[in-house]
Amino acid sequence: MGSDFECVVIGAGIVGLAVARRLSFDFKEVLVLEKNKTFGLENSSRNSGVIHAGIYYKKKSLKSIFCKKGNQTLYKYACERRIDHNKCGKLIIAQNESENKQLIKLKKNAAKNGVSLEKLNKNQINMLEPELKCFSALHSPTTGIIDIQNVMLNFVTDIENNNGKIVYNNKIKYLSKHQNTIKFTNDKKTSFTTKILINCAGLHSHNLAKSIDGMIQKNVPEVTYVKGNYFKLEGKSPFKKLIYPLPTSYGLGIHSTINLNNQTIFGPDEEIVKSIDYSVNKNKKETFIKNIRQFWPDIINKTITEDYSGIRTKVRANDFIIEECSKYGLCGLINLFGIESPGLTSCLQIGEYVNTMCKKYLQKNETKA
């Protein structure tokens, strides 16, 4: 199976980089292609920056497996590389008896995923967060925040130290089957072949998959874009922990996070959109204040301003989809779809998973040849 490359990854977001990093330890030629001028300019720098614990996801889903383990491996990596992080913990709050029942269900779900949460009463909450108004709360001690930019920079260093290459300003326009390899063509109409191609194109991965000659369209999942806007607080942070309301159908609710500069950020909200536009509508301010007021009444005396936004890629299965496409006759193609939250927390585990897939694929095909 002659080809120009062994493994090619499309997309230098945190997931593409984590995949390429892991492959670069086991494969000789790893190439990452990115359409932007540098890494991580899309969703990987447009999120809450939270290392999640693995509370919400369905048992045995990829999200639950990768998030629980990814939480531990990402903290370990951060310690080894001295990447700034803060295991500050998070409170998930209920505002009344009915929400309290949902908290109890959430605690049970977390336990099924092997994540233990502590139920707090009002006194305990008050001791931890005096400015917080709520009826009851769950405490997640393993939730925290991390410097994502620095994580990605370390992944780039690992890839390059292992002789992998990242090429920027290189947009992949078409993929096609070429004998037992995948042919990829960029916007300058240059084509190469690779034994394995991993599509980590984030918001664009389903469109790239649809463009492949030979891909049956119904085998590419429908993706809904759900935009999440953020507002930042001017002045001192009222909370030491991350504060989350109960989850909603598309997200985790407008929550309060701190970043590593101790600045408080509120969001993301949920807005179904058809196209990619990261501008934040300042008219959303009143809705944000209404939501935040429920858990922090003093917000009415403070100022928040529009900050940034990100766009979730929701698939119907509500789980990560990572699929090797031999069954569709597209040998050597691996597609990643629906890599929304907790994609950042899960990135090292996604890298492990894809690496195992690639090794199995090559073993099978090299035995056949």
Ligand X SMILES: Cc1cc2nc3c(=O)[nH]c(=O)nc-3n(C[C@H](O)[C@H](O)[C@H](O)COP(=O)(O)OP(=O)(O)OC[C@H]3O[C@@H](n4cnc5c(N)ncnc54)[C@H](O)[C@@H]3O)c2cc1C
Q: Is 11 in the site for ligand X (CB under 6 A)?
A: yes
Residue 146 Cβ, how far from ligand X at the closest point, in Å? 9
- Residue from the set 177, 204, 241, 255 that interacts with ligand X by CB under 6 A: 204
Beta carbon nearer to ligand X, 216 or 273: 273
Q: Is 144 in the site for ligand X (CB under 6 A)?
A: no
Residue 150 Cβ, how far from ligand X at the closest point, in Å? 15
User: What length is written for the chain?
Assistant: 369
DSSP letter at 53 equals -
Closest listed residue to residue 172, CA positions, set 153, 191, 155, 195: 191
Q: Which residues contact 273 (CB under 8 A, 6 or more apart)?
A: 225, 226, 227, 311
What span, in angstroms and rounded, lies between the C-alpha atoms of 65 and 198? Answer: 21
By CB under 6 A, the residues from 252 to 291 that bind ligand X are 268
Contact segment (CB under 6 A) with ligand X among 12-20, 93-101, 175-183, 238-246 equals: 12-20
Helix (H) / strand (E) element for 304: namely strand 304-315
Q: Is 201 in the site for ligand X (CB under 6 A)?
A: yes
Site string for ligand X, 153-172 (x = CB under 6 A): ------------------xx
Beta carbon nearer to ligand X, 104 or 273: 273
Helix residue ranges, H only, the chain: 14-26, 62-80, 97-112, 122-128, 148-161, 205-210, 285-293, 343-368
By CB under 6 A, the residues from 54 to 93 that bind ligand X are none
What span, in angstroms and rounded, lies between the C-alpha atoms of 131 and 178? Answer: 62
Contact segment (CB under 6 A) with ligand X among 48-56, 91-99, 280-288, 327-335 equals: 48-56
Percent composition of the chain: helix, strand, coil (DSSP 3-state, to 5): 35, 25, 35
Q: Site residues (CB under 6 A) for ligand X?
A: 10-16, 33-36, 41-44, 46-50, 52, 171-172, 200-204, 208, 228, 268, 310-312, 339-345
